[in-house]
Amino acid sequence: MTSSDDPGSGALAGLRPRLPSPLREVADERFGRRGVRLLLKRDDLIHPELVGNKWRKLAPNLAAAAGRTVLTFGGAYSNHLRATAAAGRLLGLPTVGVVRGEELAGRPLNPSLARCAADGMRLHFVERSAYRSKSDPRTLAALLRAADAVDAYVVPEGGSNSAAVRGCRALGEELAGHADVAAVACGTGGTLAGLAAGAGMRVLGIPVLRGGFLADEIRALQTGAFGGPRGDWSLDDRFHFGGYARTTPELTAFAEDFEHRHGVPVERVYVAKLLYALVALAEENAFPRGSTVTAVITGRPFPG
C-alpha cells in the first residue's frame, strides 16, 4: 500500500482510527446447529464519525486530496456525504456535496443534509438528468464550474475509486486466516473489490440494489486498482428487498431481533440485508459444517 493509500499516514493519523477493527464471535443457534461459526468484523467501531468502510474508502482519498477542496456526490440521505462532511470538519478540509435532486433546493434540509451543512459542507443541488451523467467529462466539468470548485479533488458517489479499493484491501488482510468465508453488503462494490484482493478466502457479496449490474462494476474497479481481477468472490442478488433503502416488516423485525440477541446495532440499508442473507444461506446449508463465516459490519446508523 502506498503512503497515499495508507489510512494511518500523515495528518489522518490524528483521527485515531481503531485498526485493525475488532473481530468478535457471536453464538447464534441458527448457525450453530449447522456446525457453522459466525464472526462479526466490527468495522463500525473504526471511528465514531468515519464509520466502517467509509473510513477505509475515504481515508486514502483524503490523503490524496492533500488539503484541496473535496467534492463528492450523493442522494439526500447519503451516509457517504455525511462521512465526507465530518471528515472535512475534523481535518479542516473544504467539502462540496453535489446532491441528486434539483427539487430539493429551497426546501428545508432533511436531518442528514442539515448535518452535512453543520459540518461545513457546501451543498450543490442538481437535476436528476445531470446527476445521472455526472461521470461524463463535459458534464463533470460543468458541475465543477457551477459549484465553484474547478480545482477540487473529486471523489465518486459512494467513494469507490482505485484509491478506495486499495484502501479496502487492508480489510481482507486483517481477515486472512480467520475464516473460510467473508461476506459484505454491496452498494457500489468498492469494498468487496478491495476485500477480495486481500482476503485469500472466498468472499460473498450481498447487493442492496436491484439490477444485476454489479459484477461488471467490481471487475472494472479491480482492474483500475490492481490491473486485473483479484480474489475468489461471488454475488447473491436475492436479498435486496426491493432495492436501495427499501425494506419490509420482515427485514425490520429480523434486524430488531438480531440487535436483541447480540447487542449489536444493525444499520438497516446494508447490514440488515447482509445478516438476513447469511441466516437464509445457513438454513440452505450453503456453508459446509465446520466452516467459519465472517460478516463485515460496514456501518451503523448515524445519529440524528
Q: Check whether the bond before 20 is cis (ω within 30° of 0).
A: yes
- Residue 52: pLDDT band by 50, 70, 90 thresholds? confident
Distance between CA atoms of 78 and 30, rounded to whole angstroms?
33
**Among 108-122, 223-237, 268-282, 290-304, whose mean pLDDT is lowest?**
290-304
> N- to C-terminal Cα distance for the chain?
35
Distances (CA, A) of 32 to 42, 67, 286: 20, 49, 14
Which sign, positive or negative, has the C-alpha torsion 136, 142, 147, 148?
positive
Instruction: List the chain domain ranges.
Output: 3-49+161-296, 69-151
Count other Cβ atoms within 10 Å, centred on residue 158: 21
What pLDDT, on a 0 to 100 scale, did the predictor assign at position 8?
Answer: 46
- Residue 251: pLDDT band by 50, 70, 90 thresholds? very high
**Residue that the C-alpha cell 485469500 belongs to:** 200
Is residue 4's pLDDT more than 50? no
> Which fold, 3-49+161-296?
Rossmann fold (3.40.50)
Mean per-residue pLDDT, 29-43 = 98
| 180 close to 202: Cβ distance less than 8 angstroms | yes
Mean pLDDT computed over every residue of the chain = 92
- Of 34 and 102, more confident: 34
What pLDDT, on a 0 to 100 scale, did the predictor assign at position 292?
Answer: 98
Q: Tell me whether the CATH fold assigned to 3-49+161-296 matches the one assigned to 69-151.
A: yes
Is residue 157's pLDDT more than 80? yes
Share of the chain above pLDDT 70, in %: 94
- Residue 15: pLDDT band by 50, 70, 90 thresholds? confident
Give residue-wise pLDDT tens across range 18-29.
Answer: 999 999 999 999
What pLDDT, on a 0 to 100 scale, did the predictor assign at position 79?
Answer: 86
Full DSSP string of 37-98: EEEEE-GGGS-SSS-THHHHHHHHHHHHHTTS-EEEEE-TT-HHHHHHHHHHHHHT--EEEE
Q: Which three cell numbers stand for residue 264?
A: 449489536
User: Is 3.40.50.1100 the CATH classification of the domain at 69-151?
Assistant: yes
Amino acid letter, residue 104:
L
Q: Which three cell numbers stand for residue 210?
A: 436491484
- Residue 123: pLDDT band by 50, 70, 90 thresholds? very high
- Of 281 and 3, more confident: 281
Give residue-wise pLDDT tens across range 189-229.
Answer: 999 999 999 999 999 999 999 988 899 999 999 999 999 99
